[in-house]
Structure formats: C-alpha cells, structure tokens
C-alpha cells in the first residue's frame, strides 16, 4: 500500500493535478469570499434602514404619547371647570343648555333603569 501511495505521489502527473486542484480551490474561495462580502454589505444596509425606520417610529410614538397626555390634561381641566360650573344653578342650567357629551347617554340610561325597575315592581 505504501508503495502504491509513493508511486502516485512521485508520478509526473501528480504535480500538475495538485496545482490545478489548488488553483480551483483558491478560485472557489475567492468567489465565495466575494459573495459573502456582498451579502454582508446588503445585510448592513438593511440593518441601517431598519434602524432608521425604528427610530422614526419611536419618535412618532413618543409624539403621539405626548399629544395624548396633553389632551388628557386638557380634558381633565375642562371636566374640573364643568364640575365647578355645575355647582351653581346658573352653571347647571348652562350645562343642560349646551348638552355636553355624556348627558344624553346618562339621561337615557336613567330612564331605562326606571323602566326596568317599574317592570320588576309590577311582577
């Protein structure tokens, strides 16, 4: 077996075949390294784009949250002002004339409650 191996390694054809194989491996490595670099650059561009989109979305969400907080504070101030105004007869009359949001719903619910209670009392 060693004699066959020695004969194959010493053959005049082995050198050029080994050189051709080495050259083919080098070309294959160069092509794959080139493809890997191109893929890496594409991934880095995609990561940069996603990072920018994430930053923009985060900024938009923060602005929306700040607007919600400001609207909530304004709504609380308006409710507090209406509560103070409703404490006086003139303020209560003004609120009934303006019919702020929710008064109709409350009145309808109260009349529905009365109707249900009157039906229950009849039985």
- pLDDT tens for residues 44-93? 999 999 999 999 999 988 988 888 888 877 777 776 666 655 556 666 66
3-state helix, strand, coil in the chain (%, to 5): 90, 0, 10
Is residue 92 within 8 A of residue 86, CB to CB? The reply is: yes
Gap between the Cα atoms of 3 and 13, Å rounded: 17
The torsion angle over the Cα atoms of residues 22, 27, 29 and 30, rounded to 10 degrees, is: 140
Instruction: Please provide the size of the chain in residues.
Output: 123
Gap between the Cα atoms of 19 and 3, Å rounded: 23
Choice between 29 and 79, residue whose per-residue pLDDT is larger: 29
User: pTM for this one?
Assistant: 0.43
């Amino acid at each position: 077996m060693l004699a066959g191996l020695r004969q194959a390694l010493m053959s005049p054809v082995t050198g050029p075949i080994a050189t051709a194989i080495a050259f083919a491996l080098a070309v294959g490595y160069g092509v794959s390294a080139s493809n890997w670099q191109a893929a890496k650059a594409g991934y880095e561009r995609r990561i940069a784009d996603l990072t920018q989109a994430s930053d923009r979305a985060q900024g938009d969400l923060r602005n929306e949250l700040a607007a919600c907080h400001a609207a909530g504070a304004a709504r609380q101030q308006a409710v507090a002002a209406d509560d103070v105004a409703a404490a006086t007869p003139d303020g209560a009359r003004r609120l009934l004339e303006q019919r702020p949001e929710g008064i109709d719903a409350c009145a309808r619910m109260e009349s529905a409650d009365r109707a249900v209670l009157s039906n229950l009392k009849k039985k």
